[in-house]
Amino acid sequence: MKILLVSDDGLLSATLTKVLLANRYMLDKALDVQAGLNLATDVEYDLILLDVHLPSLNGMSLCGKLREQGYLKPILLMIANDDDENVVALFNAGADDYISKPFAPEVLLAKMRTLLRRSGALAAKGALNPTTLTWGKLCLNPDSGRVTVDDLIVALTATEYNLLELFLRNPNRIFSRSAILDKLWGFDEAPTDRAIITHIKDLRKKLKASGLVEDLLETIYGMGYRLKPAPDSNCLDNNQASKTQSAINRVLERFRDTLNEQVAVLEQAKNVLLAGQTKELQAAKLEAHKLAGSLATFGYPDGSKLARSLEHLLMKDSPFTLVEIERYCELVTALQQALAKAPITQTTSPISTTPAYKVLVIDDDVALTEQLKAESEAWGIRLKVVFNLTDARLSLKQAPPDLVLLDLSFPDTELDGFTLLQEIKKRTPNLPVIIFTGRDSLTDRLAVSRLGARQFLHKPATTEQIFRTITQVLSPYKASRAKVLIVDDDPAALTLLSSILTPWGLDVVTLSQPQNFWEVLVSTLPNLVLLDLEMPNVSGLELCQVVRQDSQWGNLPILVVTAHTDADSLVGAFAAGADDFITKPVLGPELVTRILSRIERTRLHQSIGATDTSRKEESSYEKD
């Protein structure tokens, strides 16, 4: 857990530092309001411990500023004056709790644990062993600080312990290296990304040496690391598909009353129909539309079809016939009966998170290539090494890679890397090639550029520089840093889609009022937009057309979500400018795969376009 302490009291700060570090909290410190505001804005903390008495502005002012900015993490204020007026003022400023000075460290720690548990940062206590975190034969006891495998103690460093605890407490979350740095290190003492790779590698080695045969961490290419499903558990939660289903079930329980209220609106519309009125059915039509879109994803496919039939009936402008009214009543009754049943569990194949990219290294430097092979797994890359151009040609023909790392110089002077580069660009012009060579003349660099290589990397270079260049070429913009704007008039659908996407490291922005679309688009700058096709007032197709008509946003990826699979609807979506469509019910693995691949493809094209522009400018410069 990472804490921000904001206090200019040297003695108090020193005391709390000892207490918090002894209880395995990571700690950053600020002396005044501005420093605290900057840190809270730039770094992700689990809790802010805030002294009311600060220079310039008091702690309540900082608390109020953070809440105005939408800050949601717990804030615990330390105060010397706990009279009623002061306490009321601090709660009005947005504090979650307070503690009066002087206080016992045990009381402070208890209040912190309560706030952390309430915010979800600290797992709720279990029934059997409230403190132990387990994964297969592995046990971590936060109270004692002991890590065991089959009751044998595993000796870990403080960093390795904190790293292991981070993943065990967040089994469904993917952590990028930058997120791990934010979580486990102070603002001023964070090491490089390379240190994260080393710590994870050491943790894996120690756990394996202690008898944990299975690797508990998986490397997810371009995103980071995540805890694997526990090997000794047969429950369905041990795969990504069931985790998605669990998220759907949680959202369903949260919106169960809302669904019932929507059906109640449809029930009440019976009286309106029997009275021969149609103008007052707008609310019922809107609720039928929302139910048609969300029920299938919640596990009620039949309910979705019934709601869709009700929506079509309610689109009439003329009075209903008795047959139509009878049909409407039958549909409402059938919908109520469908929702009284347990939802159907959707079974889908989980997304594969094994390394997705293959890299062919063509280099005769054995020492370097062996080091690259040893470290490739940590970077989520499958590496194949060949030492000459003949083997390289054979490998390219038999199993085309996703990227080539090519040296220009080989012992046989008749064979040069430029020859192979020409062949690659002639046969597979879209295959990215990185030139990695000790040659560094302008002539070589121009030749490489003209032949279409993606990057020129000069020897010597560290393995970190090499892998960083590879990952930048394959995925210039990390998916984990991507932002998705979801537009849907149904709050339940928004919550559901957000719960599916957030564990994959995506920054999700939701919008239920499509009329505010442009303001939100410009202010949030998303990498992709997910639009519901049918919405009242402003449809998804209209929003899609608005985006495509703008010169700045015209290339923004747009995915349309629709329950309609007829040819006219799909043709209309593509004609409006949609890049892809997703059919309701929305399945988590399909949604995640399409969004991540679409973002990566767009960024890759942008990178290629930037390279082509640079190449044209260079050519123009040459002519001049």
Condensed to tens digits (0 to 9), the pLDDT of residues 255-267 reads: 788 888 889 999 8
How many CB atoms lie under 10 A from the CB of residue 463?
17
**Predicted pLDDT of residue 565:** 63
Rounding to the nearest 10 degrees, give the CA dihedral for residues 300, 306, 311, 312: 140
Q: If we measure between CA atoms, which residue out of 119, 118, 117 comes closest to residue 131?
A: 117
CB 196 within 8 A of CB 181: yes
Domain 479-605 has CATH 3.40.50.2300: yes
Q: Is 392 exposed, middle or buried (0-12, 13-18, 19+ CB in 10 A)?
A: buried
Structure tokens at 540: 């998804």
**Predicted pLDDT of residue 373:** 85
**Predicted pLDDT of residue 172:** 66
Domains 133-234 and 479-605 share a fold: no
**Predicted pLDDT of residue 99:** 92
**Predicted pLDDT of residue 487:** 92
Number of H helices, E strands in the chain: 23, 21
| Fold (CATH) for 2-119 | Rossmann fold (3.40.50)
CATH number of 245-339: 1.20.120.160
Burial 282-300 (b: 16+ CB within 10 A, else e): eebbbbbbbbbbbbbbbbb
Among left, alpha and beta (phi > 0; psi -120 to 50; other), residue 519 is alpha
**Predicted pLDDT of residue 543:** 93
437: amino acid identity, one letter: T
CATH number of 357-474: 3.40.50.2300
Architecture field, domain 133-234: Orthogonal Bundle (1.10)
Cis peptide leading into residue 102 (ω within 30°): yes
The domains of the chain are located at 2-119, 133-234, 245-339, 357-474, 479-605
* Angstrom distances, CA of residue 554 to CA of 18, 339, 527, 548: 55, 42, 12, 4
Strand 580-583 versus strand 558-562 pairing type:
parallel
Q: Is 556 exposed, middle or buried (0-12, 13-18, 19+ CB in 10 A)?
A: buried
Strand 26-30 versus strand 2-6 pairing type:
parallel
Q: Please state, in angstroms and rounded to a whole number, the distance separating the CA atoms of residues 400 and 428.
A: 9
Q: Please state, in angstroms and rounded to a whole number, the distance separating the CA atoms of residues 576 and 581.
A: 12
Chain center to CA of 288: 31
* Residue segments in the chain with a per-residue pLDDT below the cut of 50: 123-130, 233-240, 347-355, 476-480, 611, 614-615, 617-624
Q: Please state, in angstroms and rounded to a whole number, the distance separating the CA atoms of residues 556 and 485.
A: 11
Condensed to tens digits (0 to 9), the pLDDT of residues 20-78 reads: 888 878 888 888 888 888 888 777 788 999 998 887 678 888 898 888 877 888 999 99
Q: If we measure between CA atoms, which residue out of 280, 275, 283, 265 comes closest to residue 336?
A: 265
Condensed to tens digits (0 to 9), the pLDDT of residues 101-114 reads: 888 888 999 899 88
**Predicted pLDDT of residue 124:** 42
